[in-house]
Amino acid sequence: MFSLSNKTALVTGGGSGIGRAISTLFAKQGASVYILDLDEKGATQTVEEIKAAGGNAGFISCNVSDQQAVKAAVAQLPSIHILVNNAGVAHVGNAENTAVEDFTRIFEINVKGIYNCLHEVIPVMKQTGGAILNMASIASSVGITDRFAYSMSKGAVVGMTLSTARDFMAAGIRCNCISPARVHTPFVDGFISKNYPGKETEMFEKLSKSQPIGRMGHVDEIAALALYLCSDEASFITGNDYPIDGGFIKLNN
């Protein structure tokens, strides 16, 4: 079950965290994985890890917010059966104190970046059919303090997912999204260090306990759900958003 043999997977932001976990698991299941990322060091490490385990992978340096760069990257691949739109950034701020530059940066990467990948990959994927997975967030479903621009972007991700699933169903393309709660990644550690200097341990515990299950998610747990949704075993599933949140949305009373 869950074999991805003879399939080519394109994963954005595969150089670290959730993207790395997805890339390595997909390769383990037989996919040829190509990582689009600006983090050359991290992406190269992911590729080397995959190859050391006997898998097939490659790295293409690409800024997903640049449509021409995405177009050039996609042109290097003869076929694409799986697209995972994972690249994204976060921001702390509300509608009053979020600067227009930060709002625009979040939009360019988290929203336009996914649009660019969809725009360029779908024409290729229409030749064979395939699966698209977008990375959303629980911030698209619930109000989270000081996440105005980030919540905007992830709400857009869910909307793009539904639209894409509807528009390209007849072409044999499925599209779903995952909405994680907090997942422990190097990104989270950096986020805490930047925004809460001197209070790292305190904030880590606070953020962990904000989820009813009492901890942050693990990247491998997110990757496992991604694998299922991109596999042939999920061929009856499209146009859905899947929270993976330790009970945050429904049980956080």
The residues that are catalytic are 150
139 near 106, Cβ under 8 Å? Answer: no
Q: What does the alpha-carbon distance between residue 223 and residue 16 come to, in Å, rounded to a whole number?
A: 12
> How far, CA to CA in Å, does 116 sit from each of 5, 112, 241?
27, 6, 20
The packing angle between helices 17-28 and 40-52, to 10°, is: 20
Q: What does the alpha-carbon distance between residue 87 and residue 23 come to, in Å, rounded to a whole number?
A: 12
Which helix (DSSP H) or strand (DSSP E) does residue 191 occupy?
A: helix 186-195
Q: What does the alpha-carbon distance between residue 162 and residue 149 come to, in Å, rounded to a whole number?
A: 21
Residue 203: what are its φ and ψ, rounded to 5°? Answer: -70, -35
Helix extents (H) in 196-247: 200-209, 219-230
CB neighbours (10 Å) of residue 241? 19
